Amino acid sequence: MNYLNLSSVFFLVLMAASMASHAVDAPQPPQPATHGAGMTDEQREQHFRAKQEQDLIMHDLSNQILAEKDPAKKEQLKNQQLDLMKTHHAQMMEHHQGKMKSHP
């Protein structure tokens, strides 16, 4: 009879430990992305205004390219837009690489 009680206690302790370890190892739900984390409201506003300015310039160049009849002028506008795209891409890659270096 003593053996049965000892086995029951051991089994209950083992079950409790198993449930506790399962609760600790349970997968965590994914955390939402925190883009702009650590930015002040003023910095975020400045970032959005710069992005807006970039978008407006790109759209303006697109409209000019579509409206232009002179092939040479059209090509010049396309090159100007391409240079702007390359500059923007380089800035984004620099920003991304900076984040990756600071990420553990």
Query: What pLDDT does 18 receive?
Result: 65
Q: Residue 7 falls within a domain, yes or no? A: no
Number of domains in the chain: 1
Comparing CA positions, the residue from 81, 99, 103, 104 lying closest to residue 36 is 99
In a domain, 35, yes or no: no
pLDDT at 80: 94
pLDDT at 46: 93
Identify whether 42 is part of a domain: no
In a domain, 1, yes or no: no
Q: Which domain holds residue 85?
A: 48-104
On whether residue 57 sits in a domain, the answer given is: yes
Cα–Cα distance between 78 and 64 in angstroms, integer? 9
pLDDT of 57: 92
Helix (H, G, I), strand (E, B) or coil at 93: helix
Question: Which residues does the chain have with pLDDT short of 70?
Answer: 1-37, 103-104
- pLDDT value, residue 6: 62
Rounded Cα gap, residues 65 and 73, in angstroms: 8
